[in-house]
Amino acid sequence: MLPGGIQHQGSLRRDYDFRPLTGEVEMGLAEAVARARDLPGQVTLALQAALAHVGGRQPDAAVIDGMSVGDRQFLMTRLAGVLGLDQVWLTASCRHCGEPFDFPLNYDRLPVKPAGSGFPDAHISTERGMLTLRVPNGMDQRAVLGIAGMQLARQTLAKRCVTAWDGGDLSTLELDAGEVTAIEAALESVAPEIATEVMAPCPECGAENRVGIDPYFCLGRVSQDLFGDVHRLASHYHWSEAEILVMPRWRRHRYLALIDRSRGMMQ
Ligand SMILES: [Zn+2]
């Protein structure tokens, strides 16, 4: 279940399914990383390639871009599980004794904060009237990427998230610093979130360390062996690339193991 959800036919839906993992899906993920110019774009293309549906809707770019940041991060951690990367070893340096250490991380078990009531909308009242807000999505992330300067980026993001103002014409609304902070707080209270930090004990000195987690970790790990797999299967069985890519990954790996075994027998 998505921690937030998307609107479909008048209701908030939180269900989703990934496609079975075939070479085609893996190729789509590899292309997502290669084609998109920025991280939010990579996430959108990757989820488009990997999802069968989200909330009963086709995972087209507009749907995925319109999902809340928390839902997009959540889906990327679940995609790590689909790719067999749900449990990984990460490295950190202890902040107390300075020793580097490894610790295991289960992406499937990262704590999730579900959306608050009213999601995806929130409201705040200001001296100038009531503002209706919606939580930030993938399009918003992309829109503020190129903005140099933290203050301007925060202001631009806050303004994008205002969907209605009962005190005047929304296009003329200029937010002051206090309103930006109030908008951020209101959005944080309804936005779904996935943990982006975990506590890891240092095996040397026992101190607890707060370690940052990359929810998009699996993007950098997709399908590095895919081209090699296709090459070996095509050379051995003379199947076409398309025939190989429609195969589920487990079947591809089974055939590769058979090729290895027959090689072993010949040597
Ligand atoms: Zn330590």
Q: Is the pLDDT of residue 265 over 80?
A: no
Distance 210 CA to ligand 1 centre (A): 12
Give the pLDDT confidence of 221-248 residue by residue, as tens digits: 776 688 899 999 999 999 999 999 999 9
> Near ion ligand 1, which residues have CB within 5 Å?
94, 96-97, 202, 204-205, 207
* Confidence (pLDDT) at 130: 95
Pairing of strands 100-106, 162-165: unpaired
> How high is the pLDDT of residue 223?
66
pLDDT, tens only, 112-155: 999 999 999 999 999 889 999 999 999 999 999 989 999 999 99
The reported pLDDT for the residue numbered 220 is: 77
CA 104 to ligand 1 centroid distance, Å: 16
Predicted model pTM = 0.90
Rg (CA), the chain: 22
- Cα gap 52→17, rounded to integer Å: 5
Note the pLDDT of residue 242: 94
Q: From ligand 1's centre to the CA of 113, what distance in Å?
A: 29
194: left (phi over 0), alpha (psi -120 to 50) or beta: beta
Given this model, what pLDDT does residue 226 score? 87
Dig out the tokens for 89 from the structure.
């070893």
What is the overall mean pLDDT for the chain? 93
Render 175-238 in DSSP notation, one character per residue. --HHHHHHHHHHHHHHS-EE--EEEEE-TTT--EEEEE--TTGGGGGTTTTHHHHHHHHHHHH-
Q: Which amino acid is at 80?
A: A
Does pLDDT of 56 surpass 90? yes
What is the distance in A from the centroid of ligand 1 to the CA of 208?
8
Contact 255, 231 (CB under 8 A): no
Please tell me the distance between residue 100's alpha carbon and the centre of ligand 1 in angstroms.
Answer: 8
What is the 93 CA–ligand 1 centroid distance (Å)? 8
Mean pLDDT value of segment 32-61: 95
Residue-level pLDDT at 167: 86
Q: Ligand 1: distance of its center to the CA of 96 in Å?
A: 5
Rounded to the nearest angstrom, the distance between the alpha carbon of 101 and the centre of ligand 1 is 8
Spacing, Cα 111 to ligand 1 middle (Å):
24
pLDDT for 168-223, tens place per residue?
A: 899 999 999 999 999 999 999 999 999 999 999 999 999 999 999 999 988 877 76
Average pLDDT over residues 71-97: 92
